[in-house]
């Protein structure tokens, strides 16, 4: 929230508006809108349930502030699906830093070369995990296609998390 206030303050200052109260109200309104518009992908919980039965252990690794990430995890009751939840703001290290992946795999008792990282951020979820020796699946929900930046190894591209079940079965 502090970064948001700083950015909004700069924008308003550029418009010759010096009103800290307006900055606070705008930041709060943005946060409320962003929070209320969050939703899970269709059938995401059904997919998590199937994955729980299909694989040995599941981990959730997310970047961001602890309180904001915990609020999202609580809102959708995601704790119950994961053996390990790792939040950058609490651990002090996040994706794409190698230590983030190392901590997650150690916590899950998993070897990196037997671990699949799944996410929608190409830099953090794909390039970072491949650099740490994991396998990767990029959720390309917006149909961007293969990124222009090369990856050091092959990775999977899926249109949604729902496709993950088929990938793991095949």
* DSSP single-letter state for residue 109: T
Residues 112-116 have a mean pLDDT of 97
pLDDT: which is higher, 129 or 141? 129
Residues 87-104 have a mean pLDDT of 97
Note the pLDDT tens digit of each residue in 22-51.
888 888 888 888 878 888 888 899 999 999
Q: Please, are residues 108 and 115 in contact by the beta-carbon 8 Å criterion?
A: yes
Task: Report, in this order, helix, strand and coil percent for the chain, each rounded to 5.
Answer: 55, 10, 35
Element (H, E) at 129: helix 128-131
The CATH superfamily assigned to 44-169 is: HAD superfamily/HAD-like (3.40.50.1000)
pLDDT cut 90: percent of the chain above it: 61
Report whether pLDDT(1) > 80.
no
Where do you find CATH 3.40.50.1000 in the chain?
Answer: 44-169
Note the pLDDT tens digit of each residue in 135-163.
999 999 888 877 878 899 999 999 999 99
Judged by DSSP in three states, 86 sits in: strand
């Amino acid at each position: 929230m502090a970064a948001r206030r700083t950015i909004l303050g700069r924008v308003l200052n550029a418009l010759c508006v010096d009103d800290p109260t307006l900055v606070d109200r705008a930041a709060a309104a943005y946060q409320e809108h962003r929070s209320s518009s969050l939703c899970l992908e269709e059938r995401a919980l059904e997919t998590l349930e199937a994955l729980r039965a299909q694989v040995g252990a599941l981990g959730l690794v997310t970047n961001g502030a602890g309180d904001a990430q915990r609020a999202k995890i609580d809102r959708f009751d995601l704790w119950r699906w994961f053996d390990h939840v790792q939040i950058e703001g609490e651990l002090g290290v996040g994706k794409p830093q190698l230590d983030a992946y190392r901590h997650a795999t150690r916590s899950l008792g998993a070897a990196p070369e037997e671990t699949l990282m799944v996410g929608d951020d190409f830099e953090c979820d794909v390039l970072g995990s491949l650099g740490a020796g994991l396998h990767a699946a990029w959720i390309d929900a917006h149909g961007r296609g293969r990124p222009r930046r090369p990856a050091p190894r092959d990775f999977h591209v899926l249109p949604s998390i729902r496709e993950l079940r088929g990938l793991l079965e095949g």
